[in-house]
Structure 1
Amino acid sequence: MTTVLLNIGGSIFQTTFETLEKIPGTKLSSLKRDISDKASTASFYFDRNPDVFNSILDLYRTGELHFPSNICGATIRNELEFWEIDKSYLSECCLKAFYKHENDKSILNEIKNLEKYKVLDIPKEECRRGCWRNCIWKTIQYPASSRKASVFNILYLLVVVLSTSVLFINTIPDLRNPKPDHLNETSAVEKEHIYTKTTVAPPVFYVDLFCGIFFTFEFITRIVVTPIKWRKFFCTALNVIDGVVIIAFWALCSLVISGPNFIEDKAFSYIIMILYFARLLQLCRFYRFLNRFKSFDVINLAIRSSICQFGILIAVFILSNLFFGYLIYYAEFEDKNSFNNAFLGVWWAVVTMTTVGYGDVVPTCYLGRVVGMVCALTGILILSMPVAIVTSNFTIYYNKLKEYTNHKHKEERKSESRFSLQKARESGSVFPKPVLTVDTIESHKMQSSGTKS
């Protein structure tokens, strides 16, 4: 029996070839080919981690492969590849640690991909400190870049809230003034003529005009200082929506100010309604504002990772609606006044399962009430599942984003300190400390002895 001494990173492990041949097709099992059969002792050196090798050697001894829980899955994968051991030997209790690093790596890649979309794509010659385009773009797009950027984005949010409030105020009849041609009308203005026979109050109009000018100037500024190509800029969904909202605003202003003769036509009110609806798309500006913060990215990532589960739950929800909608139709078959068709039953099932309960159609007999009770309980169970899924994914992405952000901030601080130190050395304000050598010490001694003599 030949003794095998394995020097793994300075630690000595002793075993035999009979033990290593228990797992054929691996690097350790093929070591016997490198020595003669007459040798009583064989020594081999591998520059690997000795702590991990304990688990590798236990596989040959016991036939089971276990790794400590504090070892990263990437380290386990690298060691298995080096020792040419198939991952099928890994015990089931260690699979979580083995595959955890792959899941973490995919999550970090998604986070980094989000970062790429927010990185300033400014040419290198314009990335110097103090570039006016760089400063304006950071101020508009990145609230955390400086104090003035935070102030501007708070102002932007307040103007968005103000402009949205004006849209809703415009629909209140008591706050609208009748046009000069309709001052003598005593009857209340019909809803379809609210835009043709009345106008907004002057203070409301001036506030709305201020908000429109602010958004127009902000949009033009972003076009001028954008670091990306204009074709890509105008292909972005949020920028397209901004352009549509601004065009709709100025179209409405031109119609209100000019006041053409055909503005009182009833059909023209529908055009006004379409323009106001286009202006309602400015609610997406809240999304653009929230999208600048990393915390909002966690919600996006959690929802994206839950789309598959959402699809399955929506399919189950639809099938349940069809089942209970058809069932309630026959459960209430004797009542001629309720559930005249199965489609009405499907509408009732949707309202019941979502716990809305409009009460426009309700079961009246006992069998229908039993079906309604089961339908409501099924809806509660189905709708509670997406909450747990999104919450779990949100926690995972939030923790990974927090770890990645902290690591990135530390690296940025280190790079900034190195850069400032390098600049200080170049300017001559900081000098490197002299290195003490034997020659410098002897020269200092000779100088000191010369001064004494």
Structure 2
Amino acid sequence: MEIVHLNIGGSMFQTTFETLAKIPDTKLSGLKRDLSIKDSPASFFFDRNPDVFNSILDLYRTGELHFPSNICGATLRTELEFWQIDKKYLSECCLEAFYKHESNLSILMEIKNLEKSKVLDVPIEECREGCWRNNIWRTLQYPQSSRKASVFNTLYMLIVVLSTAVLFLSTMADIRKPTDRNSEFYNDTLTTPKTNLYFTTTVPDSIKYIDAFCGIFFTIEYLARLWVTPLKCRHFLCTPPNVVDAVCIIAFWIFFPLLQMRPESMNGTAFSYVIMILSSASLLRLFRFYRFMNRFQSFDVINLAARASMYQFGILIAIFFLSNLFFGYLIYYVEFQDHNAFSNAFTGLWWAFITMTTVGYGDVVPTYFLGRIVGVLCALTGIIMLAIPVAVVTSNFTVYYNKLKDYSNHEKAKKKENKSKCRLKPGSESKSVSPIHVLTLETIESHKNRVEIGKSKKLSVSHQEKVGQGAGGGKKM
């Protein structure tokens, strides 16, 4: 048995050629003894990680590839590629550590993309740094960019709260005052008391002015962002938050004048549908709180965790509807003898949906013994299904929260280091650290030239002195 000495990054390993030949088509199995050196063990040096190589050498010895859990998966992948070892030799117990770095990289990429979307500025080719377009855009869009942007964002949120309060206060009949219009003209066509409330009464002038002020403010703010946005107009208008803002603004400028004019040509039914549609559209102004929540990292983590859980949510929703169909159709035939409840299978679907979500309206209930057993099984199935998404979202939330926290701390440390470097005065490093002179061919040649020039000067000076001394001596003689 020929012994092989392997020097891996300064650590010595000893094995045999027979052991290395057990895994063919690898870098180690291709090592051969140098025949020119006799009566001495073969020795090879590789500048690689010795901690990982210990596990790789065990593969040749035992046939199983196991890695320490404290080594990054990217390092393992790089070492396997260098030693030309296929991933099929990797044991199943180490698959998590091997592939974990890929999921971590994908999570960090999502976090980086989210952070980049929050710092979108005017392009350099369109606007220089510090121009008015860039300042207005950052003030309107990014509350964390400056103090004035934070103040504007606070004012924006207060106006959102004020407009939402006006939206709800306008539905209270106690604070509304009657109009001078004849209500009997509308009684023949009105269908509901709610429609009659909007026909024959109006909100106080103070609420009306506040509502008009909020609508004008949101309109100006939206047009200002559209004016200074660095995005293309089509991209800006198709962004979901901007679509919501546009719908709210359009609904306001239709709904507000309509309530003031109250057209007599419109009957009660048509007016009811218009009120219902425009009021529902106006309620979308609540989504403007998204801009306020978007400045907190926890809200970003919730968004990322929800996106990561969409696949699991889709599977659970599919299972939920299949179970709903099963119990809804089953309860219809189990309660077949009851003519008062579960008149059709669609009623059974409604009952199964309400039971599985643990709402339990009680409008339709089973009365027979078998029907109650089906109800118990339906409720237990719903409880189990509701508990599964909580665990999935919690796990994803924990993973994304830890990664976002580490990424934020790393970015803060980098910014702090850059600021400390910028604060250093020019030449301050030379006071604490003396420069090291590096010898090059040019410096050596220039030094030789200076030495030769100095010697030639000395020789010329000494020759002149001798000549002078000889001339002086002649005169004395």
TM-score (norm 2): 0.83
CA change 1:436–1:270 in 2 (3 A) is closer
Task: Please name the residue that 2:307 is paired with.
Answer: 304
1:193–1:266 CA contact under 8 A, matched in 2: no
CA distance in 1, matches of 2:34, 2:230: 62
CA distance in 2, matches of 1:316, 1:212: 44
| CA apart distance, 1:257 | 4.6
| CA apart distance, 1:38 | 5.5
Task: Please name the residue that 1:29 is paired with.
Answer: 29
2:127–2:133 CA contact under 8 A, matched in 1: no
1:121–1:228 CA contact under 8 A, matched in 2: no
The aligned runs of 1:184-199 (5 Å cut-off) are: 190-199=193-202
Task: Please name the residue that 1:383 is paired with.
Answer: 386
Superposition RMSD on alpha carbons, in Å? Answer: 2.8
The aligned runs of 1:227-246 (5 Å cut-off) are: 227-246=230-249
Equivalent of 1:369, from 368, 372, 380? 372
Residue 361 of structure 1 aligns to which amino acid in structure 2?
Answer: V
CA distance in 2, matches of 1:431, 1:112: 34
CA distance in 2, matches of 1:161, 1:117: 26
CA change 1:101–1:436 in 2 (3 A) is closer
CA distance in 1, matches of 2:434, 2:119: 46
CA change 1:183–1:365 in 2 (3 A) is closer
CA change 1:95–1:438 in 2 (3 A) is closer
Structure 1: 5+ residue stretches without partners? 440-453
Q: Deviations over 1:34-93 (max 9, x none)?
A: 656956422222111122222222222222222222111110110010000111222222
Task: Please name the residue that 2:395 is paired with.
Answer: 392
Residue 262 of structure 1 aligns to which amino acid in structure 2?
Answer: S
Task: Please name the residue that 1:448 is paired with.
Answer: none
CA distance in 1, matches of 2:104, 2:135: 35
Task: Please name the residue that 1:119 is paired with.
Answer: 119
| CA apart distance, 1:436 | 4.4
The aligned runs of 1:13-412 (5 Å cut-off) are: 13-32=13-32, 35=35, 40-124=40-124, 130-182=130-182, 190-257=193-260, 260-262=263-265, 267-412=270-415
Residue 154 of structure 1 aligns to which amino acid in structure 2?
Answer: T
Q: Deviations over 1:279-303 (max 9, x none)?
A: 1221221223323433212112211
CA distance in 2, matches of 1:373, 1:20: 64
2:73–2:100 CA contact under 8 A, matched in 1: yes
2:27–2:83 CA contact under 8 A, matched in 1: yes
CA distance in 2, matches of 1:239, 1:18: 70
CA distance in 1, matches of 2:394, 2:422: 41
Task: Please name the residue that 2:447 is paired with.
Answer: none
1:196–1:269 CA contact under 8 A, matched in 2: no
CA distance in 2, matches of 1:160, 1:127: 31
CA change 1:35–1:227 in 2 (3 A) is farther
2:177–2:202 CA contact under 8 A, matched in 1: yes
Q: Judge which range, 345-354 or 363-372, deviates more.
A: 363-372
Q: 3-state SS of the aligned residue for 2:431? A: coil
Q: Deviations over 1:125-179 (max 9, x none)?
A: 6776543333332222222223332232222222212211211211222222222
1:121–1:227 CA contact under 8 A, matched in 2: yes
CA change 1:32–1:182 in 2 (3 A) is same
Residue 412 of structure 1 aligns to which amino acid in structure 2?
Answer: K
CA distance in 2, matches of 1:420, 1:126: 30
Q: Judge which range, 330-339 or 29-38, deviates more.
A: 29-38
Task: Please name the residue that 1:450 is paired with.
Answer: none
Task: Please name the residue that 1:447 is paired with.
Answer: none
Task: Please name the residue that 1:433 is paired with.
Answer: 431
CA distance in 2, matches of 1:118, 1:353: 40
Residue 17 of structure 1 aligns to which amino acid in structure 2?
Answer: F
| CA apart distance, 1:359 | 0.9
Q: 3-state SS of the aligned residue for 1:103? A: helix
Residue 28 of structure 1 aligns to which amino acid in structure 2?
Answer: L
Structure 2: 5+ residue stretches without partners? 438-477
1:2–1:39 CA contact under 8 A, matched in 2: no
| CA apart distance, 1:13 | 2.1
CA distance in 2, matches of 1:55, 1:62: 10
1:126–1:134 CA contact under 8 A, matched in 2: no
Task: Please name the residue that 1:449 is paired with.
Answer: none
Residue 56 of structure 1 aligns to which amino acid in structure 2?
Answer: I
CA distance in 1, matches of 2:44, 2:24: 18
Q: Deviations over 1:355-375 (max 9, x none)?
A: 111111111222222221121
| CA apart distance, 1:434 | 7.2
TM-score (norm 1): 0.88
1:3–1:41 CA contact under 8 A, matched in 2: yes
Residue 164 of structure 2 aligns to which amino acid in structure 1?
Answer: T
Q: Does residue 8 in structure 1 map to residue 8 in structure 2?
A: yes
| CA apart distance, 1:258 | 5.2
CA distance in 2, matches of 1:438, 1:143: 48
1:263–1:269 CA contact under 8 A, matched in 2: no
| CA apart distance, 1:353 | 0.9
| CA apart distance, 1:239 | 0.9
1:122–1:134 CA contact under 8 A, matched in 2: yes
2:119–2:142 CA contact under 8 A, matched in 1: no
| CA apart distance, 1:262 | 3.4
| CA apart distance, 1:190 | 2.4
Larger radius of gyration: 2
CA distance in 1, matches of 2:22, 2:421: 54
> Identity across aligned pairs (percent)?
66
Equivalenced residue count is: 434
Q: Deviations over 1:98-145 (max 9, x none)?
A: 111111111111222222322324222677654333333222222222
| CA apart distance, 1:259 | 5.6
Residue 363 of structure 1 aligns to which amino acid in structure 2?
Answer: P
CA change 1:329–1:431 in 2 (3 A) is closer
